[in-house]
Structure formats: C-alpha cells, structure tokens
Structure 1
C-alpha cells in the first residue's frame, strides 16, 4: 500500500478513533502561538503535530518514540501559507508515514500500536474449573468500583504482563508455594517494561545490581499482594473451598534504598530556566510545598492563605486533607498566582490554560534534558528535593513528615534520613559536653590537624557524605515471612551479586 493510500485509509477511520482538531486550515489558524507543538496521536509512538511558535512559522511535525524512551521529530511541511507554500493534512500524513517507515527511523523507534489502554484482565475462561485467571478477572471487576482509575490501571498492567501468561490457567484450588517460587524466578528473569515497549522474553541473568534486585523484589511483592487479594475475594465468594491458595502467599523483605536523585539549589535554578512559563510555576509550587503534581493541579484560590500562613491541600488518593506551611518567599509566589482570580479558580494552569493533570510529564522530561540533569529525575523528585533540603537544614523529621502528609515519621526517616548526616555531624561536634581535661588538651594540640581532616572529608556532593554501601544490606524492619523456596530464589541472586562485585 502506498503512503498516500495508507494516509487515506487512516483518514477514513480517524473519526472513529481519535479526530484531529487541526486538520483544516481554519482550525490551524485558531491555534495560539506556543514554543511546543500541538500533537495528534496517530498510533502509540507515532504522532503528527503543528509547531506554531510565532506568526512567521507554522509547520507540520512528525514524531516517534524511540526504544530508549526519547522522542525524535521531523518537519514534514508548512501547515499555513506564510510565503513557502502549504501542505494539507493528507499530504502531511503521507509524508509522516513515509518517514516512519524509513530504515533510519524504524531501527530506532518502538513498534506502533493502536490507541487505547488496557481495560480488563486478558483472560477468557474455558471450562468449569475456577482458575487463577478467573479469580484475577473477578477481583479486577470488583476493584474497578472503588479504586482510583490510575491504581486500577496499574494493577491490570501488572496482571497482564506477569501473571496471565504463565499462571492464568492454573486451577485455583491447586495453586501452591511451588507456583509462587516459579513466579519469583520469572520476575527475576523478566526484564522490566517501560511505556509502550514490546513484551520481552525471559533471559538468564548472571548478576543483577543491588538496585535492580530491590526493584524486582518490589515487583514480586506487588504481585503477591494482588494475588492474595484476588484469592481472598474468591474465598469470600465461595469460589474455592481451601484456604491454601491465599495462605501460601508470602512477601519478600526489601531493603528500601534511600532516595538519591535530588537537586541542590543551583540545579533547581537550572531546571527552572529550562521550563516553559506554566511548567516553571508548577515546578516552583512543588519546590515550595513538596506536594504531588495531582495535589497542585487540584489547588484552588480559596486554598491559599485562608487557614494559616500556607496552603490547604485537599484529600488526594488515600491521603486526607492537610495544611502545608510556607516560607515567606513561597507565600508571595502563591499570592501572585491568585491575583485577579475568583475563589474557585485553579491556582495553576498549563501553557494551554487547562488544569494540570498528566500533561506535565513530557514537558518536564524535556526540561530535565535541557538543564543537563540526571535522566532518572521525574517530577516527583521535586517532592524528594523539598524534603531533603528541610532535613539537611535541621528541620525535625516529624515536622517534615507532617508537611508531606505522612501518617508517621518512619517513612521520612527511612527515605531521607541519610541526608541529615551533615546536620547530625554538626550537632554532635558542637553539643557534646566536655568529658576529659586531658583530652581537651589533646584537642588543642591537634586543632590544626582536625581542621585539615574535616576539610579533606568534605565533598561537593552532599548526597554521598558519610554514606555506606554494605555488600548485602539488611532491611531495618520487616514483617514479611517468605516461603523458604521463594526466599532461596532471591537469596541465590543476592549471593551471586555479592560474589560478582568481589
């Protein structure tokens, strides 16, 4: 099929899939100027857009998502006649498909897929035997009612990727610890899937890094939780008559690594300089409050400065409403964003004037790359930056926990406690009561030596100060009592990891 015919075929079915809001000249002329393109999704990983930064430029732009999760784009012709001709929608589609199918692009790009998110467990019951797949399907239909759309979708992705292929047809009454061990082995051998990547086959892994092993343990524990809830749901509904399927499900203890991707103030300024105007406001709001993007997106003018010197954060996901106190600089920022707005208007809006939902992701990734910051930094890292900055400045951990909306300080202590090392050092050095006159004399004799030692130990990277990396870390506390066979699977990999490093 020619590219022109391929484009024509797409146009015929487009109204049933995802209508393009700028296919006609009149629609394009109504688009406001902005530095980033307006995108229309043709397929997953394939987009066609309009780039109209000012009155001297308006071009059709094609875009693909590469295998390493980056975007690559190409201008395919002028969308308005500004002295260089004009290309209509069908021609732009044809040129886009031609570029998509070129050898240089196909080798880099992810495979295109039809639009649409997974909506159910990919399992069709066969026969009268109640299987693991049926239990997962029944449970997912139940969770659809009361879980958040995002949480329900994440469960479906995990179920379809890890559980359906090898365990869906197992009779639920026969599920045992042996199946759980097989699941543990599968999780270890299955590479993670990001975005719209194709499913990858299982591979023999010689030695995972400590962080990779931690992440796969977390994935295994998430799957165990899903299975346990599904099996308990089946038991409660009399679909099975034995408790063994859900009683054999045990989680694995995990040593949660402290957060390490944070920004210092100079890095924050570089990030802000790389943001679009609306994204800069959203980023500043996150750095002043430590709030999640969803919490900031829901904030209205009436939430600012009404209940105290700060902002009210509405209930979000499973977290209750809370109040976040602000520094003077932050309060001035939020008041400036509320000027001229009614009490029920959103404080922050996107560059297109819409409430912030999920459209920040690509803009933030682009800003991170432009600022030369670690690729792993996502918007949620600004919340970690906020917490780590307070802790390093000596703010008590329980105060930080209340600002973040945590029920206790344990999570904050385990996650961010290592960033208080320099503050802890300062407190110990300056507040220890004198103990020995003899050693005080020794202190005076070695004063220059101690000052030199302290200066030598200081590092520009505060993330690594007094940080230890044990070869085989032990969780601080765990209530997990894994099955012996399952524990052996992960322990063998930990041992291989340790010996490889030696």
Structure 2
C-alpha cells in the first residue's frame, strides 16, 4: 500500500479550521504530475484530485466532502488519508484512459454486472467450469454483493461477506418446484465442517476477485485495491482425501445398475472426471496403444491416459461394434449421460455397498490417483494422467501416500521398545 503524504496545513481538522476560505484549493503534491487539493468554502471543505497529462493539460476530479463537520465514511465524506486513497484511484483510472485503455469508469458497474461480464468472457474463451462457478455466484455472491457498485465496494464489506459465507448453512440439492432452497446448518464444534465451509468461502472469494479484476482490466473501475487487501482463510484448504479400498471399489461397482456400472468402472480404471468420461467416443480409444484420448478437459488441454490390462479390456468390450463417433458410455435407454445424472445412482449404490460417506466421482478419481501414489508412481506421471496443470496439486493431495525414504528409514532404524502389549484383538477398520 502506498505511503500517505503529509501536509500539516490540511491533514487535520484543527489545521484546516485555521485556513481562510478561498476558491483556489490548498494543494498537496502526491507524486509527479499528481496532486490533491482542499477547497475550503463557507460551509465546509471538499477534496479535489488533479492529474497533469503528457500533453500538459490538467484533469480534475471532485472526490467528496472533507470531514470538517461530519465523521468520515469513506463514501461521501473523507479524511485526509481516505481522500489520498480516492485520489490515487482517480490517477490510475485517468492514466489508463489517457493511454487509450478505455475510460476509467464507463458507467455504473455493479458486482452482478462484473460477474456476468466475467463469465461471458470465460465462455467466449471456451473455459471449463463456467456453469458451476456461475451457479455458485448466483447463490452466494450476487444476493449479498450484487447490487453494490464495484467502485464503492470496500475491503470491509468483502471481509464481512466472506465471514458470513463461511458460517452460512450448506445449500442442498432441491427440486426445481420447491419454493425454498434446502439447507443444512454447519456444526460449529466440528473442526472439519468449519474447515470445509471456509474452503468453500475461499473458492467463492477466488471467483469474486477474478470477476472484479476483469472489471478493473476492462477499465470499469479505477482501482483494484479494495479486494487485493482481502485475504482468504488460512489452513482451510488442507488436503482431506477420501479414497476407496480395493474391496470397497468392488462392492460399489457390483451395487451399480448395469449401464451406470460401466461408467463407475471407467472412472476407477482411468481417474477421469465424470464430464470427461461422458464425452468419450469410440474413436478416442486406441486398442493397439492401450490409451484413451481426453480431448476436452477442465484444464482446456487434451491428454492421453494410459490403460492397464483391466482398463484396456473394459474399453475394448465397450467399443466393440461401435462406430467411431458413438459415445462409449451411454444410459440404459441409449441416451447420453447429462450433467447431473450421476449422483443419485451413485448415492443409491453407495447405500447398497455400505459406504459412508457416499462415494462421488471425485472420490473415484482420488481412488485411482491414490492407488498409483501408494505403488510409488512418480508425481509427474500421476499429474499427467490426471490432467493437472503441474505437479503442485498432485503433490498436495497424494505425496503423503507415496513410499517415503524418510518413513522407511525411520521404520528400519527405530528399535522396538517393548512398551506395547501383544493382543489377538483385531480392531475394526474405520472409513478413511
């Protein structure tokens, strides 16, 4: 954050009270070509910003009233420090305008407008995940912040929203005909539940900041400082990996109905996302090389997934007699799997297989990657198979499962102390 410039003549109420009223402002130079003035009138003072362009012309902006008679609110009444911050926003925006990057503010732009523009731009670039981010923004961001003008959005307002979002009940899937969205309260005494809600709030903050940054770069707001000051919750996104054991995977697959079973087995042998699997066509399977080609992925880049013998046999059976353009995974009626067709049959199969919590396709993806990590497969190979942009995400989730030189050295070197009694009691396995 830029340091405030001091001027003993106008930086306090008592100092300004001693000044005579006059039309010409009392100027304070902020930086080369940038100045902020205090104009004192008969009924109080106002702050003014002045920018000198490269052509020598002066550009002025009325910032708002000074806090001579009223306490500052940061919106219409400014202290000396707040006026400097507002002046810097004007300097940045006006400089962009003069440089040909568009007007500093082309008209009132609300947070909802910024979100809509951001999502439209992402759709135009073919970005993945727009539907889910738009849905989350409509549910959690727009109701609280949507009507606020971006230029009037403050750091405190964003922090208050972030804190409230982290404590808000979890939204549940609700029928379209329902008059009210179903929710589930967060258990404040459950550390993992609190962490999960903070993690959700952090993801929403990422979406909000991206939309506001897009508005800033498009010249619709003069400064990005208010949201740059807002930091996400710390230690909220620690990796909590749930994966299935071999026996759980078998029980789950056997509990699925036939057409859906193929989809679940496909996820377990490839680690692909649900959307990636449902878009695969027969031509994407190369029987000779034993690979499948994922042409559309979340990262926007195609990748090739190598198949083990079991995976190769599965895809060979599913593509036998299919035309190259035919979908590999289809519903029982021959139709394509839709965006929200997977969770209910997976919940039903999880109940039959006695899995708690119920499996999701993300858990199936974790199961695939975790199995590779525990067999010592390098993180770079797992990252390539999973379609991660680099190995950081892979290492964050799966590195602790890999055979470790440190762990093996400790186990080999630490002597047995004889402090644990032998027992023939076998503990029950708890779900991971």
Please say whether Structure 1 and Structure 2 have the same fold, judged by a TM-score greater than 0.5.
yes
State the SS of the aligned residue for 2:304.
strand
1:371 to 353, 366, 373: 353
State the SS of the aligned residue for 1:380.
helix
> 1:322–1:191: structure 2 CA closer, same or farther, 3 Å change rule?
same
2:157 to 163, 179, 182: 179
| Aligned residue number for residue 163 of structure 1 | 141
- Is the Cα contact below 8 Å between 2:266 and 2:277 reproduced in 1? yes
| Aligned residue number for residue 56 of structure 2 | none
> 1:390–1:235: structure 2 CA closer, same or farther, 3 Å change rule?
closer
State the SS of the aligned residue for 1:312.
strand
Q: Tell me, in whole angstroms, the C-alpha distance in 1 between the residues paired with 2:229 and 2:206.
A: 12
| Aligned residue number for residue 392 of structure 1 | 374
> 1:397–1:236: structure 2 CA closer, same or farther, 3 Å change rule?
closer
4+ residue segments displaced more than 6 Å: 200-203, 421-424, 452-460
**1:227, CA displacement in angstroms?**
2.7
**1:340, CA displacement in angstroms?**
1.6
- Is the Cα contact below 8 Å between 1:228 and 1:249 reproduced in 2? no
1:139 to 83, 108, 118: 118
1:210 to 191, 194, 213: 191
| Aligned residue number for residue 101 of structure 2 | none
Q: Tell me, in whole angstroms, the C-alpha distance in 2 between the residues paired with 1:317 and 1:175.
A: 31
**1:142, CA displacement in angstroms?**
3.7
> 1:392–1:458: structure 2 CA closer, same or farther, 3 Å change rule?
farther
- Is the Cα contact below 8 Å between 2:282 and 2:323 reproduced in 1? yes
**1:367, CA displacement in angstroms?**
0.9
After superposition, residues 102-113 of structure 1 pair within 5 angstroms as none
- Is the Cα contact below 8 Å between 2:267 and 2:364 reproduced in 1? yes
Gaps of 5+ in 1: 1-127, 433-438, 465-502
State the SS of the aligned residue for 1:323.
strand
Q: Tell me, in whole angstroms, the C-alpha distance in 1 between the residues paired with 2:237 and 2:143.
A: 29
Q: Tell me, in whole angstroms, the C-alpha distance in 2 between the residues paired with 1:157 and 1:384.
A: 25
Is the counterpart of residue 342 in structure 1 residue 326 in structure 2? no
> 1:199–1:336: structure 2 CA closer, same or farther, 3 Å change rule?
closer
| Aligned residue number for residue 188 of structure 1 | 166
Residues 260-269 or 410-419, more deviating: 410-419
| Aligned residue number for residue 234 of structure 2 | 253
Give deviations 1:163-212, integer Å, cap 9, x for gaps: 33332333322222111221122113311212228358998x88353222
> 1:253–1:286: structure 2 CA closer, same or farther, 3 Å change rule?
same
Is the counterpart of residue 290 in structure 1 residue 290 in structure 2? no
Q: Tell me, in whole angstroms, the C-alpha distance in 1 between the residues paired with 2:187 and 2:284.
A: 53
2:392 to 404, 407, 410: 410
Matched pairs, number: 321
Is the counterpart of residue 420 in structure 1 residue 402 in structure 2? yes
Is the counterpart of residue 275 in structure 1 residue 275 in structure 2? no
> 1:241–1:263: structure 2 CA closer, same or farther, 3 Å change rule?
closer
> 1:254–1:425: structure 2 CA closer, same or farther, 3 Å change rule?
closer
2:247 to 249, 258, 266: 266
2:308 to 306, 327, 341: 327
Please identify the structure whose Cα radius of gyration is greater: 2
Q: Tell me, in whole angstroms, the C-alpha distance in 2 between the residues paired with 1:398 and 1:453.
A: 42
| Aligned residue number for residue 360 of structure 1 | 342
**1:356, CA displacement in angstroms?**
2.9
**1:373, CA displacement in angstroms?**
0.8
| Aligned residue number for residue 493 of structure 1 | none
Q: Tell me, in whole angstroms, the C-alpha distance in 1 between the residues paired with 2:422 and 2:373.
A: 21
Give deviations 1:399-444, integer Å, cap 9, x for gaps: 22222122333222211233336997557646x7xxxxxx9xxx6x
Q: Tell me, in whole angstroms, the C-alpha distance in 1 between the residues paired with 2:425 and 2:304.
A: 39
State the SS of the aligned residue for 2:292.
strand
- Is the Cα contact below 8 Å between 1:394 and 1:423 reproduced in 2? no
> 1:223–1:454: structure 2 CA closer, same or farther, 3 Å change rule?
farther
> 1:277–1:287: structure 2 CA closer, same or farther, 3 Å change rule?
same
| Aligned residue number for residue 221 of structure 1 | 202
Q: Tell me, in whole angstroms, the C-alpha distance in 2 between the residues paired with 1:455 and 1:224.
A: 51
> 1:140–1:332: structure 2 CA closer, same or farther, 3 Å change rule?
closer
State the SS of the aligned residue for 1:366.
helix
**1:319, CA displacement in angstroms?**
4.0
Give deviations 1:228-269, integer Å, cap 9, x for gaps: 233233333433334434433433334433344221111112
**1:223, CA displacement in angstroms?**
2.8
Identify, as 1 or 2, the structure richer in helix. 1
TM score, norm. by length of structure 2: 0.64
| Aligned residue number for residue 301 of structure 1 | 282
Q: Tell me, in whole angstroms, the C-alpha distance in 1 between the residues paired with 2:160 and 2:302.
A: 42
Q: Tell me, in whole angstroms, the C-alpha distance in 2 between the residues paired with 1:286 and 1:202.
A: 29
- Structure with more relative contact order (C-alpha pairs < 8 Å, separation 6 or more): 1
**1:303, CA displacement in angstroms?**
2.3
- Is the Cα contact below 8 Å between 1:191 and 1:200 reproduced in 2? no
Q: Tell me, in whole angstroms, the C-alpha distance in 2 between the residues paired with 1:144 and 1:199.
A: 27
- Is the Cα contact below 8 Å between 2:282 and 2:328 reproduced in 1? yes
> 1:268–1:454: structure 2 CA closer, same or farther, 3 Å change rule?
farther
Gaps of 5+ in 2: 1-106
